[in-house]
Chains A and B, each alone.
Chain A
């Protein structure tokens, strides 16, 4: 075989692999969209395009379930979680990233190990805390408990970003008479905009997707459920037949905004993930 022919063959193999990977990653989502548009018995045919596309599944999601409420719940819980974590994390990251004091190394280790906690290990203790606070079946229980995973990684990522800001900038602020809080709020925060957006987005996605705590603390009530619990517990008219069309419609509804967000902020997300992991 000539050199050129071999090269061509390698090229073709490469692109076949690429196409395979794209199909592998995209197909399940495509199938969900496809199924969600199939009404009635069409659903049970494996047609790759809906024979007669219909919105009935989407309508039923909102009519048969309090799904709109579930979306609001998730937005509320994730939004407030992000705000609390960012607020706590910015000040902590400034201290950990830019002030030298004894005990800093230990604190960084604590933050890191909390982010590696298996959530189940705190479930029973947390359940008691929530019962004591009177928050069982209330969304606030989720806001508080989600901090366990959003806070460590926001602190971790923001500490990395804080360290990268030039030292002389901070010293200029000190010479100008800025207090540490003024240095954060008036000099660093405006510069950390992209970092905050990235970390906030990652925290939002993590909170939006959380299942174990949501299932345990607010899972017993259709009205207080968040989206993941609602989708997991989706029930149809009959007890034995899962409403797959509805489940797929609901899945598409909550996934499309996420995919759009992720695609828009692609670069930032990748930089955030790697700031937290690769540079560590």
Chain B
């Protein structure tokens, strides 16, 4: 049973404020992912929770009690580091047992906990190895094992997969998801990789410049981005943004002009805008159709085509825009120089006012509250990595 609560937490290094007042609640058993671009403060925020950095102001509570002043080892947390940070001179067993030994636990209890963690992580046959005799994935599992034996209230992961190659990363991602499922523990996970964020998180926290831009489930962020930053950060390829003006406002939505002259009525709450206001129209590449009938259309000329096999990306130049990305199917015959009549749908369109905030959609996307992806409780675990 562990909750984490941050109340107006700030962190400064000298004059420079890195975390500018963060309020956040992490529920029991929740998998929370901090995501954001380099330098957004996500790692710092994790290190504040761990106790590796001092909180400049604000309160941090774990399980209801303020822990600002507690050293990391007394906070009931365990941390998995980006570089694994295994003790190079100790065997796998000693690495996992080190913290327990320092806590003066009995030999039998240490042995039991280490063996159990090794069983969960399929490390039993590696207990006598030194870190340098193992592969990256195995080291990563040892680092997780070292966290498990502490039986922490909260697991903290600092970009744990960024040192692995792409294939291994997918495999470890699944393993971590399974671990969360099996251990029923609260986990906080930092990454800059939005695929990791989307696939692992119950709740994503998007950080930017030391403040929280939005907190929500992965699909909530995808369908209801609160502002331009989140809209652009979540989703790949990036959402298309087109600067335009409001032409009309009524109860059913806000109308704007698209390049080429057509008008689209986006179903958003237009209380705060008037005709003539500058707004940004946003639509995701995967929500555009290459050609054909739709709520409205944008005319443009293709100047680059990227074929990925399953998908094709067409980069289009339209009047008054820099570049529009259109995602279309792998068997599309679109070619450079083609003139496209791209279709967009009102339901998947977004509008952002001048300061970047999104106008709230009138209808909530049904997927925004969909059940999180998961696995059968008796699903077989991913195969142990060959060694």
Contact = CB atoms under 8 A, between A and B. Distances in A.
A and B touch in the complex (CB under 8 A): yes
Interface residues of B, number: 23
A169 B85 contact: yes
Contact of B85 (A171, A178, A182, A186): A171
Contacts of A182: 102
A175 B72 contact: yes
A164 interface: no
A163 to B, nearest CB: 16
Given A177-B73, A177-B103, A182-B102, A171 B79 contact: yes
Interface size class of A (residues with CB under 8 A): 10 to 19
Interface string A140-184: 000000000000000000000000001011011111111000100
Given A171-B79, A174-B71, A182-B102, A187 B85 contact: no
B92 to A, nearest CB: 14
B102 A175 contact: no
Contacts of B99: 175-177
Contacts, number: 55
Contact of B88 (A173, A178, A191): A191
Contacts of B74: 177
Interface in B87-114: 87-89, 98-99, 102-103
A190 interface: yes
A172 B87 contact: yes
B83 A175 contact: no
B81 A171 contact: yes
A168 B82 CA distance: 8
B73 A176 contact: yes
Contacts of B71: 174, 177
B367 interface: no
Contact of A187 (B72, B73, B87, B150): B87
Contact of A175 (B73, B82, B87, B89): B73
A187 to B, nearest CB: 6
Nearest to B97: A176
B98 A176 contact: yes
Interface of B: 50, 52, 71-74, 77-79, 81-83, 85-89, 98-99, 102-103, 146, 150
Given A175-B72, A178-B102, 15 more contacts: A166-B83, A172-B85, A172-B86, A174-B72, A174-B73, A175-B50, A175-B52, A175-B77, A175-B79, A175-B99, A176-B98, A176-B99, A176-B102, A177-B74, A177-B99
